[in-house]
Amino acid sequence: MIAFFIVAVVVPFASHATESAQYISLLPAVPGLEAPDPHISWTLEPNAAGIKSVLNVSFAIPEKSPDTEGQSALEYRIEIDSMMRVVQEYIVGTQDAVEQILPIEELADGIHTIALTVRDFQGKNHTRKREFKLDMRPRVNVFVEPNDETLFDPKITFSFFGQRNDLVGMADIYLDDRLIKTANILETQNNKPVTLSELLGFQIHTADLAPGNHLVTITAQGLNASSNSHILCLTGSIVLPEITVHRSDTGKFEHLEVIFPATSNPIIGSAEIHLNHSVILAVRTDQTRLAITRADLLGALEKHGQKIGDHVTMLLSTRSANQVENWQEFSFQ
């Protein structure tokens, strides 16, 4: 009696990757390489889970001897790149086509060989081979909202092939060649737009960056370690802190207000009040709006032993998180 057993089980996995033709290319069979075999029909077809193998065999089943128990069986195995670990099974008696998904998500990019070997009832081996080309580099598509000069938060669509425990790949995010985050890309995010801030866990404001051009590099890495990068250019903010001096109807100083560009930095801006070439008041803020009142200035004057007459000219210096400065004189009276 020939026992039925499985040496390696091929388990299909689900994936919502883009069309498999982007990643898997079956190469044409080489004419004359193998003689046709009317007893074996073997087709391969790329799909979203790997390569679908469909095997039909039609060898005549030998008559069973009265002394033989059980059923006769054919053995077949499928190897990739001569590794006997893809699948090895038995076909007992006659049955419908044998369909299986051959997992390839961990194979390196390049040309690979799939070999089928069927051992018939007389012990003779019948071999078929096909080659396929694998290019599992992830696809990275980016859409940047136009005319948004204060917040850099593009939408990114990753396309990975295959998955493992709901993971389809990873993305390394660099700012000016400095790694700021490695994000896992889940199956639920595959082929669906996700914002950069969702990947990072925080937003990038243009006021976070020094004035000038900066590069954001997004490098996606698939399950087989193949990678693909997308580079974006953004410009650090040159927006000045906005200064407004508020006075009463009689021209008396009441307070001044500074509006800083939004930033993800803990300190959004700072301001200093100068009198006679000395700093009499310095403040920092974690808010985009900063107000300095008349009482604040009177307290600073008293602290520094300064006395003023009817009016005095003071100098206000402001600095945003990315060190963009704005200076303005104002009359205190």
For 133, residues 6+ apart whose C-beta sits below 8 A from its C-beta are: 24, 25, 27, 110, 111, 112
Where residue 48 sits, what CATH number does that domain have? 2.60.40
pLDDT at site 92 = 66
pLDDT at site 227 = 94
Looking at the fold, whether 255 and 214 belong to one and the same domain comes out as no
pLDDT at site 6 = 24
Closest to 179 measured CA to CA, from 170, 187, 188: 170
Looking at the fold, whether 311 and 295 belong to one and the same domain comes out as yes
Element (H, E) at 200: helix 196-200
In this predicted model, what pLDDT tens digit does every residue of 172-182 receive, in sequence order?
999 999 999 99
pLDDT at site 148 = 74
In a domain, 228, yes or no: yes
Q: Phi first, then psi: what are they for 224, rounded to 5°? A: -100, 15
Looking at the fold, whether 29 and 121 belong to one and the same domain comes out as yes
Looking at the fold, whether 128 and 152 belong to one and the same domain comes out as no
Give residue 87's pLDDT band: very low, low, confident or very high (50, 70, 90): confident
In a domain, 190, yes or no: yes
* Contact between 74 and 118 (Cβ < 8 Å): yes
Instruction: Count, in order, helices (H) and strands (E) of the chain.
Output: 2, 24
pLDDT > 90? residue 65: no
Cα separation, 102 vs 41, in Å, equals: 17
Greater model confidence, 10 or 226: 226
Looking at the fold, whether 151 and 202 belong to one and the same domain comes out as yes
Q: Greatest CA span in the chain, whole angstroms? A: 126
pLDDT at site 70 = 56
**Interval 304-333 mean pLDDT:** 89
Q: Phi first, then psi: what are they for 68, rounded to 5°? A: -100, 130
In a domain, 189, yes or no: yes
Domain finish residue from 103, 134, 165? 134
In a domain, 172, yes or no: yes
Strand ranges of the sheet holding 139-143, from the earlier edge strand across to the other edge: 139-143, 155-159, 193-195
Looking at the fold, whether 209 and 247 belong to one and the same domain comes out as no
Domain finish residue from 134, 163, 181? 134
pLDDT at site 201 = 94
pLDDT > 80? residue 55: yes
- The listed range with the strongest mean pLDDT (139-143, 145-149, 305-309) is 139-143
> In the chain, how many domains are there?
3
Looking at the fold, whether 107 and 211 belong to one and the same domain comes out as no
Where residue 231 sits, what CATH number does that domain have? 2.60.40.10
Give the domain range for residue 29.
Answer: 20-134
Token pair in block for residue 47: 């799909």
pLDDT > 80? residue 326: yes
Looking at the fold, whether 34 and 102 belong to one and the same domain comes out as yes
Element (H, E) at 167: strand 167-175
pLDDT > 50? residue 5: no
pLDDT > 90? residue 187: yes
In a domain, 259, yes or no: yes
In this predicted model, what pLDDT tens digit does every residue of 240-252 receive, in sequence order?
999 999 999 998 9
In a domain, 8, yes or no: no
Looking at the fold, whether 64 and 108 belong to one and the same domain comes out as yes
Give residue 228's pLDDT band: very low, low, confident or very high (50, 70, 90): very high
First to last CA, the chain: 109
**Interval 119-148 mean pLDDT:** 88
pLDDT at site 145 = 83
**Interval 255-275 mean pLDDT:** 95
Greater model confidence, 58 or 269: 269
Residue type, 313: T
pLDDT at site 69 = 59
Closest to 106 measured CA to CA, from 222, 219, 27, 227: 222
Domain finish residue from 236, 271, 299? 236
CA atoms within 13 A on the CB side of 245: 17
Looking at the fold, whether 225 and 257 belong to one and the same domain comes out as no
Q: What are all long-range contacts of 154-158, with beta carbons under 8 Å and residues at least 24 apart?
A: 154/195, 154/196, 154/232, 155/193, 155/194, 155/195, 155/196, 156/193, 156/194, 156/195, 156/196, 156/199, 156/218, 156/230, 157/191, 157/192, 157/193, 157/194, 158/185, 158/189, 158/190, 158/191, 158/194, 158/220
Token pair in block for residue 157: 């669509």
